[in-house]
Amino acid sequence: MVQQIKKIALLTGGGDCPGLNAVIRAVTKTAILNYGMEVIGYKFGYRGLYNNDYVPLTLDSVSGILNRGGTILYSSNKDNLFDYLVEENGVMVKKDVSDVAVENLKKEGVDVLIVIGGDGTLTSARDFARKGVKVIGVPKTIDNDLASTDVTFGFNTAIDVATEALDRLHTTAESHHRVMVCEVMGRGAGWIALESGIAGSANVILLPEIPYDINKIVEKIKAREAEGREFSIIVVAEGAKPKDGEVVVAKIVADSPDPIRLGGIGNKLADDLEKLLPGKEVRCTVLGHIQRGGTTSTYDRILSTRYGVAAVELINEGKFGEMVSLKDGKISSDSLENVIGQKSKLVDPNGELVKVAKKVGISFAD
C-alpha cells in the first residue's frame, strides 16, 4: 500500500439507480475483509457531508442489499456544496460551503472519499480533489450517456424493466387493436428507448437524437393495418421531439442544478396521433421512476460489484482523483479531470443498433 489508509467514506448523489447498493456492499466488504479499513457512509449525498450526517458501514449493515434498488445511504440531486443554498441574515443565498465538508472529513479522520454519481456529482468530486481531498469516483446513470465508460450500472436494469413493459403492452394492444405509446427515460440520449424498443419488438422508436415526422408514424401504423396487423407499439424517449418542434417540459424545479424536468411527450404524441387516425384508440403509458426501482438485474449486480472492488483497489494503489470505468469489457480508470466535461455519449443515428432496428422493420419516423 502506498500509504496507510485507515478510514474511508462513501456517498451517493443524484438520482437513485439500481446497483447503488451493490457498489456500497462491494466497497465495504472489500475494504474491511482485505485491508481492515473502517468505512462510513454519508446520508443524502453531499448534504450529509455538509451536515456531518453519516452511518457506520459494516459487514452486517451491507448484508442482504446486493439485489435491492435505491440506496441505503439515500440520495439528493440538489446539493452542490460549491453553490449551496444557505440562510444568511434571514435571506436564502447561494454560497460555496465546500470548506465545511473538508473540515468534516478531517474531523472524522476520513482518509479517502468515494463518490458514486453522475456528471453533476462527479464534477463536485473533481472540485473536492482540487481542494486536496483524496477522492475516487464511481460513474452512475441509467441513461448510459457517460462517454468515459462503455456502460453504467443501472442501465441494464432499466432496459429490462422497459422491455417487460413493452411485452405486457403488446397483449393489450393486440386485444383491443390499439396503438400503445410507452414513454421511457432519456433526456438527451435515447439508449433506453433504442435497446428496449429492439428487445420489446416495438414498431416505432423515437429518440432525442433523431427528430421525428409524425406523418411517418401514421404511415407506419397504416402500413401495418394494410398487412392485417391492427395494433402498433411505439416507444418514445422523454427527450424526443418532432422535426419542427421542441421537447415537452413537464415542470421547472427552481432549486435544482438542472431545473428543467422533461416528460409528457408520450401523452402529447398519443393525442396528436388520435387526431390523425380517426377511429383509432391511442393510449400512453409513462414508465417514469419504475425504471429506476425494484430488483437489480444480474448484469448490474456483477458490474456494480466490479466497480466497488475496483474503487478500493485504486485506493490501495494510491490512485486518487480517478474514476473507475469499463473499457472494452475490462475495468480500468481515468482521471476525474479528464472525464468531467466530456460530451455525452449519444445514440449515433447511423450506428449499428439503429441500422439493425431498421433492418427488422422498426421505424424511427425520420
The full DSSP string for 227-283 is TT---EEEEEETT--BTTS-PPEEEE-TTSSS-EEE--HHHHHHHHHHHHSTT--EE
Closest to 281 (Cα-Cα) out of 174, 166, 163? 174
Q: What are the Cα distances from residue 11, in Å, to 6, 8, 137, 143, 255? A: 17, 10, 10, 20, 21
Angle at 70 between CA 267 and CA 134, to 5 degrees: 120
Cell of 365: 419516423
At 224, phi and psi to the nearest 5?
-65, -40
Residue given cell 406523418 in the structure block: 215
CA 140, 146, 149, 151 dihedral sign is positive
Do 231 and 202 contact (CB within 8 A), yes or no? no
Between CA 282 and CA 105 the distance in angstroms is 55
Between CA 325 and CA 259 the distance in angstroms is 28
Please list, residue by residue across 128-154, b when 16 or more beta carbons sit within 10 angstroms of its beta carbon and e when fewer do: bbeeebbbbbbbbbbbbbbebbebbbb
Please identify every residue annotated as catalytic: 143
The runs of H, that is alpha helices, within the chain are: 20-35, 46-51, 98-107, 119-130, 155-176, 191-199, 214-226, 265-276, 298-316, 336-339, 352-359
How many Cα atoms sit within 13 Å of 356 on the Cβ side? 11
Residue given cell 440520449 in the structure block: 189
How many Cα atoms sit within 13 Å of 302 on the Cβ side? 9
Q: How many CB atoms lie within 10 A of CB 244?
A: 8
